[in-house]
Amino acid sequence: MGWKETAEPVLTRMPAVRRPQRHVPFKRKLAWTAGILVLYFFLTNVFLYGLGGESSDIFGQFRSILAGGQGTILQLGIGPIVTASIVLQLLGGADLLGLDTQNNPRDQVLYQGLQKLLVVVMCVLTGLPMVFAGDFLPPANIPGLSTTAVQWILFAQVLLGGILILYMDEVVSKWGVGSGVGLFIIAGVSQSLVGGFFTIPQIGGEQMGLIPTWIGIAIGSVDIGPVLSPNGLQTLLFGQGQIIALFTTVFIFALVVYAESVRVEIPLSNARVKGARGRFPVKLIYASVLPMILVRALQANLQFLGRILYAQLGASGMPNWLGVYSGQQATGGLFYYLAPIRSPGQWMWWLGQTNNSPLQIIARIGVDLTFMVIGGAIFAIFWVETTDMGPEATAQQIHGSGMQIPGFRQNPGVIEKVLERYIPQVTVIGGALVGLLAVMANMLGTIGAVSGTGLLLTVSITYKLYEEIAEEQLMEMHPMMRQMFGDD
């Protein structure tokens, strides 16, 4: 017996959200999406029972893209889902699974069940160290319960939250608009952006937002010193004024929207319906920005491993070549170089916010750029192949719809050869470009201290959500189009 026959009884019985039997009206899709979003915000404010004292966010700078909330029932965020996707993509890319998810319905069910099982395993593997290692989720003193018992209660809540977010994502994917993972990322990053623009300390913000700061500068309540002095310019550009962060945020928004519109359009015609023509667009960011989640999640898991090792071994037991920590941040060793640049102060040594030498900083920037550019290209290729966006799968879809490329024979092999001229190259270029933009945005800083990857993801996902909503509205107005595309 192969692994499929052995695992089939378990994988086919994994709980799943029932797929709708008929077309779901657009208003109902919006209602499902809004309901899940409200539930997400509610759960990010439900704090873990038994949590004592201040907890340290083990995801740190990756929190904006991994969603969830520190110390809440959604402590894990979408981390387990993303990590499981990385494992599946690597296994699928190496052709170790032997699953034909494109043509075999049985393999599709096995793949979905395997994905759910892997998510649960990742919830366990991530949640256990968070609760039982270090002070990431310190247990409270509850009368009548031992420390170990409280830790198991905390772990059960963390595990429940990880499973909840898995099925919330599935509800949105099947009954709502877009995907739950994208929706949660938008929610988390948007919160940080709004806070970065409008927060004031009087309502609980740690740092004054951009707009209140400039109002304070205008009326004289915020002192930045002489504007033309080096310190004054530094404060305006990189400090309280956040001019560079505002420029970077606006630039990334505009650039991603522009990049989404840059495309190569392959003309199509219908062999059976005379005059029926169309175009297949190959966008510059063909694989979308979503593979960046996988790259950053891989970095997050590496940093997670470093902090767990430091919590277990301590400063004296941790080899210096592996990692030197100050508080919860790596300041030297391998884990320092593998950590992404998050703000101007981490690489502009002349600002006096880092004690690392220029040579160390340049090496770290080089590692971050290499990791993001090469990783972005590799995961973009995996993403295209595993989501049936590659030349072969796309050619089959075009052929199946009755379309062909004018001037070529109506054959999927011929269409595939034409698509191979564009899709692989555009996929690599787009993935590398997104990685470069993510590093650049991190280095210059953004409003609300959201990561460059988080900002890129938010803009791209929002743009695609807009396109999907427009398409849904078009289908509602013209039901015949829905029948043509097989949505009924």
Which residue type occupies 390? G
DSSP-assigned letters across all residues of 358-417:
HHHHHHHHHHHHHHHHHHHHHHHHHHHHHTT-SHHHHHHHHHHTTEE-TTS-S-HHHHHH
Q: What pLDDT sits at residue 414? A: 86
Confirm whether pTM is higher than 0.85. no
Q: Strands, DSSP E only, in 222-374? A: 263-270, 277-283, 324-326, 329-332
C-alpha distance across the termini of the chain, in Å: 39
Q: How many CA atoms lie within 13 A of 79 on its CB side?
A: 31
Residue 68: strand, helix, or coil: coil
Query: Per CATH, which fold does 1-7+24-187 belong to?
Result: Preprotein translocase SecY subunit (1.10.3370)
Distances (CA, A) of 258 to 251, 253, 254, 284: 10, 9, 6, 10
Sign, CA torsion 57/61/62/64 = positive
Q: What's the confidence (pLDDT) of residue 38?
A: 94
Average pLDDT over every residue of 430-435: 90
Q: How many residues are recorded in the chain?
A: 488
134 with 311: CB under 8 angstroms? yes
Output the CA–CA distances (angstroms, integers) from residue 39 to 46, 212, 359, 469, in the order listed.
11, 31, 47, 21
- Where are the domains positioned within the chain? 1-7+24-187, 208-237, 242-483
Average pLDDT over residues 258-262: 83
The pLDDT of residue 234 is 79
At 485 the pLDDT is: 46
Give the DSSP letter of residue 24.
Answer: P
pLDDT in tens, 268-289: 887 666 666 778 888 888 887 7
Residue 74: pLDDT over 80:
yes
pLDDT averaged over every residue in the chain: 83
1-7+24-187 and 242-483, same CATH topology: yes
In contact, 177 and 29? CB cutoff 8 Å = yes
Coil, helix or strand at residue 427: helix
Q: Counting Cβ atoms within 10 Å, is residue 284 exposed (0-12), middle (13-18) or buried (19+)? A: middle
At 161-218, the pLDDT tens digits run 999 999 999 999 999 988 888 899 888 888 888 888 888 765 555 677 888 888 888 8
Give the pLDDT band of residue 488 (cuts 50, 70, 90).
very low
Task: Kindly list the distances between the CA atom of residue 241 and the CA atoms of 40, 101, 209, 258, in Å, as whole numbers in the listed order.
Answer: 33, 52, 9, 27
Q: What is the CATH number of domain 242-483?
A: 1.10.3370.10
386-411 pLDDT, tens digit each: 777 888 888 888 877 777 788 777 78
pLDDT at res. 271: 66
Q: Do 138 and 53 touch, CB atoms closer than 8 A?
A: yes
Q: Residue 151: what pLDDT? A: 92
Confidence category of residue 450, pLDDT binned at 50, 70, 90: confident
Cβ neighbours of residue 87 closer than 8 Å, sequence gap 6 or more: 118
Nearest to 210 by CA among 440, 446, 452, 438: 446
User: Which pLDDT score, from 0 to 100, does residue 307 have?
Assistant: 85
| pLDDT class of 159 with cuts at 50, 70, 90 | very high
